[in-house]
Amino acid sequence: MSTILTLPDQATARLPKVSYLNKEYGLKSWLLTGDHKRIAMLYFISITFFFFIGGAMAGLIRLELLTPPSDLLAADTYNKVFTAHGIIMVFLFLVPSVPATIGNFLIPIMVGAKDLAFPKINLLSWYLYVAAGTMMISVLAFGGVDTGWTFTTPLSTHYLNTHVISAGIAVFIAGFSSIFTGLNFIVTIHRMRAPGMTWFRLPLFVWSHYAASILMVLGTPVLAITLVLVILERTIGIGVFDPTKGGDPLLFQHLFWFYSHPAVYIMILPGMGVISEVISTFSRKRVFGYTAVAFSSVAIAVFGFFVWAHHMFIMGISNYSALVFSLLTMLVAVPSAIKIFNWSATLYKGSITFETPMLYAFGFIGLFTIGGLTGVFLGSMGMDIHLTETYFIVAHFHFVMVGGMLMAYLSGVHFWWPKITGRMYPEGVSKLAAVITFVGFVLTFFPQFILGYLGMPRRYAAYPPEFQVLNVFSSAGASVLGVGYLLPLLYLTWSLKYGKIAGANPWQATGLEWQIQSPPLTENFVDTPIVTHEAYDYEWLESKKGSEVPTVG
């Protein structure tokens, strides 16, 4: 199979003498850095850590569900484990995954800036993340919390004696970390674009991060307020959600989902940005219908704010408001469909190669399409009654979040790995990992759709024995999936020392980040770049290559 990979001659190639990695040495130079790339690295290490903690929790869940009775874990332990899995994966992995690592690294470079607008706030954001993570780990160490990641009242406020308040504060702090990242991106994208970098010359990665940032900045405060209300209700009993004091527990649902539905788009939009970059690069073509893809991100962000009550169709909201929310849910599905078709059409008349990032991107397209279409099942009100709160929901959001977002994340990590570290990951084993991940994923989560229609409720430590066969499939898939996620951890670490030297532009891609050295200088650019070409202009790249002396290595 051919490849576009153009590496410098490994016999003579050297990593650049000076880069952001070796400009300064010492722990202090990392912990007090203002450099967006170093902060991205800090984030990269911390979210990987939490991903594997959350993944271990998922492993425990699947092991427990191998047999119908709750024999491996007692019911309360199981509840704590799935709560920890949910909170860690949502707030400490998925929300910061692409934006805080790849986004942090690339947004300033892609717009042609030296750093983000507020480097110190960026560092503060990481420290808040670490504070939140430490707090969450200590919650686990001191006995855990069993609210579910949704903190549903009155369960969380009146009926549990676990560490609800500490977990709530941890999520509250993690929320501010996310707000600061979003704020930084919005200001940077508005104010710090290089000369000639107009809005419609921005890579789609930047557009999708812009849309996600709006959601972070406008949505997360609502979550913060909700958690504060839960904590106040639990400590001093203010009664906002307590029906015996005239409060309304449904109000909590409204507030919580007002953030937590847009949060889904906070998680997936940056992933969509990665897919746009990868598909375009490996088919050597501009993304089909650039404007449509850019605006569909914004449309998702806008509509995403007005669909939250589709989580509450069975909760006794008025039938007519359910009608409105169902309609809007169908509308928000359309921009996602547009993106999928535009990516597919980008391949048309391209010159396609199949490096690892592209394989992950194909995985994304397939799994996200299933995840999106099953979302239509759930947006369809009458169908939602039977499917909600069952394994169908679990399967649906794992297809979107894991099949979609995690595939996109891994695609992006592989794609920009040469830029971030200056070295290539090993191509053969990484392709294998991509295939293993895909197979393991489908085996894990597809049976859960069937389980869901059979009616198996989610968050059950024990289940009726007739559901066992499908659960065994799912647990078997999870072990395959585990291998698929451990492999990149191993070979990417290996490649830090033994990977081939990548050179500035191993993929022959057009983005500004590929026109500078790998790994980049602390200040990114030697001179402020002047942008004269559209995004994904491969003809411009050809002419540029023709006119310059190759100085790779």
Partner 1 sequence: MHFISPVLWQFLIKWLTYFAIFPPEASSIAPYADALYFFLIAISVVGLGAVALLVVTFSIRYRQEANPTPTPIEGSTLLEATWTIIPLILFMICFVWGALLYFRIYSPPTNAMNIYVVGKQWMWKVEHPGGQHEINALHIPINKPIQITLISQDVFHSFSIPAFRVKREAIPGRYNTEWFEATKVGTYHLFCTQYCGTLHSQMIGEVVAMTPEDYEAWAAASTSGNSLAQNGERLFASLGCNSCHNSGPNAHGPNLANVYGSHLQLKNGSFVTVDDAFLRDTILNPTMHEVAGYAPIMPTYQGQVSEEGLIDLVEYMRQLNSQYRIDQTIDNSAAQSIQTGATPPGTSAPALAPGAVKP
Closer Cβ to partner 1, 248 or 523, answer by number = 248
Smallest distance, Å, CB 520 to partner 1?
28
* Nearest-angstrom CA–CA distance, 438 and 485: 11
423 SS3 class: strand
Please check whether residue 335 is in contact with residue 302, taking contact to mean a CB–CB distance below 8 angstroms.
Answer: no
Smallest distance, Å, CB 457 to partner 1?
4
Task: State which of positions 426-455 bind partner 1 (CB under 8 A).
Answer: 450, 453-455
Binding of partner 1 at residue 232 (CB under 8 A)? no
Give the x/- contact pattern for partner 1 in 105-134, rule: CB under 8 A. Answer: ------------------------------
Give the x/- contact pattern for partner 1 in 305-344, rule: CB under 8 A. Answer: --------xxxx--x--xx--xx--xx-xx--xx-xxx-x
Closer Cβ to partner 1, 238 or 250, answer by number = 250
- Residue 457, beta-bridge partner list: 390
Closer Cβ to partner 1, 20 or 463, answer by number = 463
Tokens of residue 6, six digits: 């153009």
Task: State which of positions 371-430 bind partner 1 (CB under 8 A).
Answer: 373-374, 376-377, 379-386, 388-390
Of positions 39, 365, 406, 410, contacts partner 1 by CB under 8 A: 365
Please check whether residue 366 is in contact with residue 435, taking contact to mean a CB–CB distance below 8 angstroms.
Answer: no
Task: State which of positions 502-541 bind partner 1 (CB under 8 A).
Answer: 538-539
Q: Any idea what the Cα angle at residue 398 is, between residues 393 and 402, rounded to 5°?
A: 170
Give the x/- contact pattern for partner 1 in 455-494, rule: CB under 8 A. Answer: x-xxxxxxxx-x--x-------------------------
Closer Cβ to partner 1, 119 or 289, answer by number = 289
Smallest distance, Å, CB 316 to partner 1?
4
Binding of partner 1 at residue 66 (CB under 8 A)? no
Please check whether residue 269 is in contact with residue 297, taking contact to mean a CB–CB distance below 8 angstroms.
Answer: yes
* Nearest-angstrom CA–CA distance, 199 and 389: 42
Distances (CA, A) of 136 to 41, 133, 164, 180: 21, 5, 11, 20
* Nearest-angstrom CA–CA distance, 354 and 72: 42
Of positions 12, 244, 547, 551, contacts partner 1 by CB under 8 A: 244
* Nearest-angstrom CA–CA distance, 429 and 289: 34
Number of residues that bind partner 1 (CB under 8 A): 95
Of positions 93, 205, 288, 399, contacts partner 1 by CB under 8 A: 288
Tokens of residue 431, six digits: 């392709």
Q: Any idea what the Cα angle at residue 384 is, between residues 213 and 81, rounded to 5°?
A: 65
User: Based on the number of CB atoms within 10 Å of its own CB, is 501 exposed (0-12), middle (13-18) or buried (19 or more)?
Assistant: buried
Binding of partner 1 at residue 546 (CB under 8 A)? no
